[in-house]
């Protein structure tokens, strides 16, 4: 399969124009405009036919849509070690929030006990989207049965000037307020987050249907100036 040619066959120009407006860190000329269901379909086909390795080893990619496809392929890889190795090779090339947040690899979900050590490494990275990816993994896989209060502490200690890191920290804590309120509210009450992150966390929590009205009223009272 000529992947580039296949992606252009599936181009949706209206969708491309929309993506250009919401993903400002990506050059407009690199966005083809392929919708997510089509990319997921190709990812599954490539993985099932075992024809994906040459593509994911050909970095960097030229187009944003190729990076999206790459992320979806990683989501399909079932072997934990192969998946982890492939993710670590790909992370330095991620340059936008959409690709960063695109998938939670199945292999990671089934190996949360092994993954946590890698997440701690990602959180200490100097790369914006590596940090964001690590926080995203904690948010998606470690706020339910795998939750530990120490993970809140790990994220609270991340200090960054990067918008896309700080937004993910706020998203993480807002989700934590919905799922682990008693443990998380202390971080808001004790002002453990930077002011912008603190207030954005409250905003996102108040907007969430998963947070009770009582908790929302209390959170509103904790906004900082």
Give the residue-averaged pLDDT of 53-68.
96
Least Cα distance to 161 among 141, 139, 131, 188 occurs for 131
C-alpha 99/C-alpha 71 separation (Å) is 7
Q: Which two tokens stand for residue 190?
A: 């004790």
C-alpha 22/C-alpha 100 separation (Å) is 14
26 pLDDT band, cuts 50/70/90, is very high
C-alpha 160/C-alpha 212 separation (Å) is 30
CATH 1.25.10.90 placement within the chain: 117-225
CA atoms within 13 A of residue 224's CA, in its CB half-sphere: 14
Q: Is the pLDDT of residue 20 over 80?
A: yes
pLDDT tens for each residue of 135-162: 999 999 999 999 999 999 999 999 999 9
106 pLDDT band, cuts 50/70/90, is confident
Q: Is the pLDDT of residue 1 over 80?
A: no
C-alpha 86/C-alpha 118 separation (Å) is 13
- The one-character DSSP state at 111 is T
Q: Which two tokens stand for residue 99?
A: 């690709």
201 pLDDT band, cuts 50/70/90, is very high
- Residue 193, class by beta-carbon neighbours within 10 Å (0-12 exposed, 13-18 middle, 19+ buried)? buried
Q: Is the pLDDT of residue 41 over 80?
A: yes
* Alpha carbon distances (Å) from 107 to 8, 77, 115, 158: 30, 7, 10, 26
C-alpha 201/C-alpha 46 separation (Å) is 39
pLDDT tens for each residue of 62-97: 999 999 999 999 999 999 999 999 999 999 999 999
In the numeric block, the tokens 């998606």 are attached to: 140
pLDDT at residue 130 in the model: 98
Give the residue-averaged pLDDT of 149-177.
97
CATH 1.20.1050.10 fits 117-225, yes or no: no
């Amino acid at each position: 399969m000529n992947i580039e040619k296949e992606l252009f066959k599936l181009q949706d120009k209206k969708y491309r124009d929309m993506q250009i407006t919401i993903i400002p860190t990506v050059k407009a000329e690199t966005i083809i405009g392929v919708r997510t269901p089509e990319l997921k379909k190709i990812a599954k086909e490539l993985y099932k036919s075992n024809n994906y390795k040459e593509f994911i080893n050909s970095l960097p990619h030229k187009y944003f849509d190729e990076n999206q496809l790459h992320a979806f392929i990683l989501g399909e890889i079932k072997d934990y070690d192969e998946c982890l190795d492939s993710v670590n090779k790909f992370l330095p090339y991620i340059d936008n929030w959409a690709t960063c947040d695109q998938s939670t690899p199945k292999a990671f979900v089934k190996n949360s006990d092994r993954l946590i050590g890698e997440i701690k490494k990602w959180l200490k990275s100097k790369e914006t989207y590596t940090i964001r990816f690590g926080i995203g993994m904690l948010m998606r896989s470690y706020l339910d049965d795998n939750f530990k209060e120490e993970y809140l502490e790990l994220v609270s200690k991340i200090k960054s000037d990067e918008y896309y890191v700080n937004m993910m920290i706020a998203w993480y804590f807002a989700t934590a307020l919905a799922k682990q309120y008693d443990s998380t509210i202390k971080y808001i009450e004790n002002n453990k987050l930077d002011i912008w992150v603190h207030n954005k966390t409250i905003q996102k929590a108040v907007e969430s249907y998963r947070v009770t009205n009582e908790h929302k009223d209390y959170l509103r009272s904790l906004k900082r100036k």
